[in-house]
C-alpha cells in the first residue's frame, strides 16, 4: 500500500528540488569543516531569500503546502 506523503515531506521535497545544485556540490566534499558548513548554510539561506523574491505571489510556497502565509 502506498502512503500519501505528509505536507511536511512534500515541503521538504520542494525545498530539496530548489537546493539541488547545492546538494550536488555538497556530495563532492568528503570532510566538512566548520567554514564549509557555514558557507553552505549561507548559500541555502540566500537561495531561499532569492526564491521568495521571485514567487508569482507573496507566500506562494507556504500556501502551496497548506501553511499560513506570514503577514509582513
Domain membership of residue 18 (yes or no) is no
CB within 8 Å of 68: residues ≥ 6 apart: 62
Q: Is 72 domain-assigned?
A: no
pTM: 0.76
Structural domain boundaries enclosing 59: 30-67
Residue 13 lies in a domain: no
User: ∠ CA 59-13-54 to the nearest 5 degrees?
Assistant: 35
Q: Domain count of the chain?
A: 1
- State the alpha helices, DSSP H only, in the chain: 7-18, 20-26, 34-53, 60-64
* Residue at 9 is within a domain: no
25 within some domain = no
> What's the pLDDT score for residue 2?
82
Q: Give the tens place of pLDDT for each residue, 16-49.
A: 999 999 999 999 999 999 999 999 999 999 999 9
pLDDT at 1: 76
Residue 22: other Cβ atoms inside 10 A: 13
Amino acid at each position: 500500500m502506498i502512503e500519501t506523503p505528509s505536507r511536511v515531506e512534500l515541503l521538504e521535497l520542494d525545498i530539496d528540488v530548489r537546493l539541488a545544485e547545492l546538494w550536488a556540490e555538497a556530495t563532492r566534499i568528503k570532510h566538512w569543516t566548520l567554514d564549509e558548513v557555514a558557507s553552505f548554510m549561507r548559500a541555502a539561506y540566500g537561495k531561499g531569500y532569492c526564491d521568495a523574491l521571485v514567487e508569482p505571489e507573496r507566500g506562494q510556497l507556504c500556501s502551496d503546502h497548506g501553511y499560513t502565509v506570514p503577514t509582513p
